[in-house]
């Protein structure tokens, strides 16, 4: 039996946002590997082994996937959103690069998914309609000084900025410090979108000006988008639309 690995994105939550390509890979798989809540989104069936593991051991999980594929298993490594955005695809290639030469002969594919910032942006309107960047506020894998420098430079460059992992138990103050840096560069008026659990039954969207934005408004399931100087709000009875025009003066 020929093994393979598909590193697949499950999208932001809704079943309708899983691509047919990912569904097909899961239907052929013998093993699914991933962080517990992501593996829980895969429907169990006979012949499919689910390996749910803790999120802090990404490289172990990647090596496990490579070993199983080397034994001829058909392995899907699952991430939420897109596997290439702050997720398992890069971890898998890190393990591949450092691992035995034989692993390089394996059939490895990355199957894209809808990443949180695109799902959140679509729900709010089009805040990423002009130039933007994405910053991971987790400092598990990089020093806080680097995060802060990137936040400041992105704000000075007038990007709309999407923030992943805005808050966690280990770093409750990261988002508050980020807002301080942003207020320093951009003032108080920028719209800030807090998009929580997008495309799930717990979804909540909230827009506040930067001057009123607080770290406690986000949790681990929230994606934060801070607008550029061009980002605007269209007020409507049905709820505001947040968008960034496609041109800049």
Per rule CB under 6 A, is residue 222 in the interface with ligand SAH?
Answer: yes
Per rule CB under 6 A, is residue 91 in the interface with ligand SAH?
Answer: no
Say if CB 153 and CB 146 are below 8 A apart: no
Among 13, 125, 191, 215, binds ligand SAH (CB under 6 A): 13
CA distance 231 to 246: 10
Q: Shortest approach of ligand SAH to residue 119 CB, angstroms? A: 6
Say if CB 75 and CB 68 are below 8 A apart: yes
The angle subtended at Cα 4 by Cα 56 and Cα 76, nearest 5°, is: 40
The Cα-based distances of 99 to 65, 72, 95 in angstroms read: 12, 17, 6
CA distance 135 to 7: 22
Among 6, 7, 76, 195, binds ligand SAH (CB under 6 A): 195
Region binding ligand SAH by CB under 6 A among candidate stretches 18-26, 124-132, 191-199, 226-234: 191-199
CA distance 228 to 243: 10
The bridge status of strand 191-196 relative to strand 160-164 is: unpaired
Q: Shortest approach of ligand SAH to residue 105 CB, angstroms? A: 27
Q: Shortest approach of ligand SAH to residue 120 CB, angstroms? A: 6
Q: Shortest approach of ligand SAH to residue 249 CB, angstroms? A: 31
The rounded radius of gyration (Å) of the Cα atoms in the chain is 19
Region binding ligand SAH by CB under 6 A among candidate stretches 35-43, 60-68, 162-170, 238-246: 162-170
Q: Which residue's structure tokens are 């988002």?
A: 175
Q: Shortest approach of ligand SAH to residue 2 CB, angstroms? A: 28
Within residues 66-85, the interface with ligand SAH by CB under 6 A covers 79-82, 85
Say if CB 135 and CB 147 are below 8 A apart: yes
Q: Which residue's Cβ has the minimum distance to ligand SAH?
A: 81
Q: Shortest approach of ligand SAH to residue 47 CB, angstroms? A: 27
Per rule CB under 6 A, is residue 127 in the interface with ligand SAH?
Answer: no
Q: Which of 32, 74, 67 is nearest to 49 (CA)?
A: 32
Among 35, 159, 164, 243, binds ligand SAH (CB under 6 A): 164
Task: Using CB under 6 A, list all residues that contact ligand SAH.
Answer: 12-13, 79-82, 85-87, 115-116, 120, 164-166, 195-200, 220-223
């Amino acid at each position: 039996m020929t093994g393979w690995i598909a590193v697949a994105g499950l999208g932001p939550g809704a079943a309708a946002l899983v691509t047919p390509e990912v569904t097909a890979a899961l239907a052929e798989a013998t093993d699914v590997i991933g962080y517990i809540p992501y593996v829980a989104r895969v429907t169990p069936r006979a012949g499919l082994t689910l390996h749910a593991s803790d999120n802090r051991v990404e490289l172990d999980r990647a090596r496990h996937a490579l070993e199983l594929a080397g034994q001829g298993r058909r392995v899907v490594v699952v991430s939420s959103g897109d596997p290439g955005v702050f997720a398992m695809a890069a971890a898998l290639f890190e393990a591949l690069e450092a691992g035995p030469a034989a692993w390089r002969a394996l059939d490895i594919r990355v199957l894209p998914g809808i990443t949180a910032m695109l799902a959140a942006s679509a729900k709010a309107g089009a805040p990423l309609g002009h130039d933007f960047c994405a910053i991971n506020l987790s400092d598990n894998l990089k020093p806080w000084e680097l995060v802060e420098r990137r936040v400041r430079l992105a704000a000075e460059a007038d990007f709309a900025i999407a923030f992943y992992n805005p808050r966690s138990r280990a770093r409750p103050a990261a988002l508050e410090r980020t807002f301080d840096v942003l207020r320093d560069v951009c003032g108080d008026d920028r719209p800030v979108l807090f998009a929580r659990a997008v495309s799930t039954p717990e979804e909540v969207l909230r827009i506040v000006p930067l001057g009123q934005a607080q770290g406690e408004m986000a949790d681990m399931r929230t994606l934060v988008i801070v607008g550029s100087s061009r980002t605007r709000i269209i007020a409507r009875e049905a709820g505001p639309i947040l968008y960034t025009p496609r041109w800049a003066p």
